[in-house]
Structure 1
Amino acid sequence: MADVRLHYKKPILHGDITVPGDKSVSHRSIMFGSIAEGRTTVSGFLLGDDCLSTIDCFRKLGVEIELNDTNVVIDSQGMKNWKEPIDILYTGNSGTTTRLMLGLLAGSSIHAILNGDASIGKRPMKRVITPLRKMGAHITGRMDGQYTPLAIKGSPLHAIEYTMPVASAQVKSAILLATLQAEGTTVIHEKSVSRDHTERMLRQFGAEITVENGTVSYKGGQTLHATHVDVPGDISSAAFFLVAGAMAENSEITLHNVGFNPTRTGIIDVLAAMGADMRIIVADEEAAEPTATITVRTSDLAAITIDGELIPRLIDEIPIIALLATKAKGTTVIRDAAELKVKETDRITAVVNELKKLGADIEATDDGMIIHGGSELHGASLQTYGDHRIGMMGAIAALLIDDAVELDDIECIAVSYPTFFEDIQKIIK
């Protein structure tokens, strides 16, 4: 694959962007619409490769899904009418699809094989399979289910009480989805609260679920009812432009319809703590997924420490936060983020390696990184590692310097933001 050369010559950034739909909510809209009996409609769906993988999996299970641009119609007769797939359920680059499908299929009458791309083959699956096996699931796979490919044979399940060893919305969601077909009430204890899109969508589809003081309780056997899902803009995608607006000279960017779920707004807390010049107008806070319009301007930034319970609320934004920290006065410390090592790539190593090439004063630690602000960034040839977040970080860096930045792979960005470079052009002045 040929390198792509980006040479923007440090432009002023000014304009309005509506970021594409939230990846986490888009995945779940297809899953829940396929579980519920009747017709579910979705607007604002993310046309990213990961979410299209989810649609493909459910079509193989016999669910009728019609896709018209960002609008989706799902006609389902419920889980009991899913068909055993002839082909492997291929999940592409999507960890969400892979892990949540395990939960959904665990209590079904279906035998299926799940597999993804080379990146998925390196990502840990035992963290999901362990609690599912405690519920009675029959799952086998490479290295006793540590890695894909995985074979699952649906079986009767029972509820469990489970304390999460790490903050992971994917693990929590897999357990909750398995509980749909389990006897009894499952109780999940979280030490640090992870994103809660699954809990919110269960309520939206008519289920009763209790969330209190880090404990989630959910009774199995509940029936879900088809509904309409309005997918908000993805705050993880918006984060790249929020950082660009705060770092670029003489700039002002407004982002519309950004998802403002409080379990996802860690990037906003970081920007505010660093002193970013932002204006936020929140829409209906009582909506299933609240949204906001966010304007950010060129800012004087100060270094901070990012750790503890804040980490699960911004884990996907750490690559672009690391770039932000190169502009901040002082030393920014990111810790308690060892989870970065098991993302699409080892993001601690990847971020540190690539920002060093750009001239950043940055070092890796066992669970994060240390960034000394004030370095003058320059052009370089960067590796994306096939990771969309690393690719977008490099592209935003190209907006902030006079020199050219070369990226070895921009196709990976389509996983979460297929119109990323079109939106960059909208704000270049």
Structure 2
Amino acid sequence: MFRPLIFFIGLRYTRAKRRTRFISFITFTSVLGIALGVTALITVLSVMNGFEAELRERILGMTSHASISGLDGQLRNWRSLESALQQDPRILGWAPYIEGQAMLNSDRRVSGVMLRGIMTDYEPRVSEVANRIVEGRLEALQPGEFGIILGSELADYLGVITGDKITVITPQLTATPAGILPRLKRFTVVGVFQVGMYEYDRNLALIQLEDAARLFRFDDAVSGLRLKLEDVFYAQRVARDLGPKLDGPYQIADWTQSHSNFFKAIQTEKRVMFIILLLIVAVAAFNIVSTLVMVVTDKRADIAILRTQGMTPRDVMGIFIVLGTIIGTFGTLLGGVGGVLLAWNVETIVPVIERLFGIQFLSADVYYISELPSKLLWSDVYRITGMAFLLSALATIYPAWQASRIKPAEELRYE
């Protein structure tokens, strides 16, 4: 039942008299501590969500959302699967590929790479590599011309630029009069791409699909089909539904299997960061305990008078619960608004701070993501503000209980 008197008195106690300005200051610091903790927690989690989204976009821009491959590593008659794929509206595109490990040898250095054969007219349907090329063009990969496009880190390591020749060495063996030798083929560098992920910029090279088939002796087969989906978060469901629709023994995998450890690590880091920053909110929330204890000490005579006028211990307890809840609610709302505004504008505020102090938090020479991304999730805001309010409410219980135990006769004995 709502008791206006209890709420009114609790609200009245938030305003200090001239002789209790110190209590008012302690109340202000409690509100400020909760607000800063909530703001920091919302902002940090939004930045971590931004980094996760940016990394996911870059990874899934180069890898497949799902893939179909043969059980023996080769997929034959892949064009016969196109009709089944077209019938699923969740699949936006597909592209054949041939993938294998190789060694690249320039005049200066040797490096192991993952060599991927692609079709230039199909590849843009499933990846962003055409938009990530910084030198040359994807269409420069023509059948029979043995062109190759390297990742930027790989090209720098090998010391090659567009137009240079490199030797591709594959594990397949060739019988010659001199003995069994690995297969060698000279390729021309026709382009360089930069994704912003070391895994691809340093360890991936692209060639034309027919050249890859000839190099790896695939004949008319491919390694598989890479699929692009309408919603990457439904990749597992799409992969599971595709099985019965395809006529043949195929292996269907999705991106959550190939990159599960990476994204699980990010989720674990977010949980740990949430717990650490929540401790800041908890410390600020439990400052309410000291604030209420001081208020109870200051208002002992007032409490005794209220008791003599018929107020029950439960009502006295309710007064201080209201007082502490008001402090926690105000701090939580202030921190929630501040956190949302900061998360929405962090990409604008950080460059201003960098220019003002002449520093750079994420140097482009060191980090691939040189701007601080932010992605605000309202579910995080609700969870953080809910936890802050709950901690604030819990912090009021002990001081309120102590106030309810005050005995009027003892307090008014010398009044």
- Scaled by the length of structure 1, the TM-score of the pair is 0.26
Structure (1/2) with the larger strand percentage: 1
Asked which structure has the greater CA Rg, the reply is 2
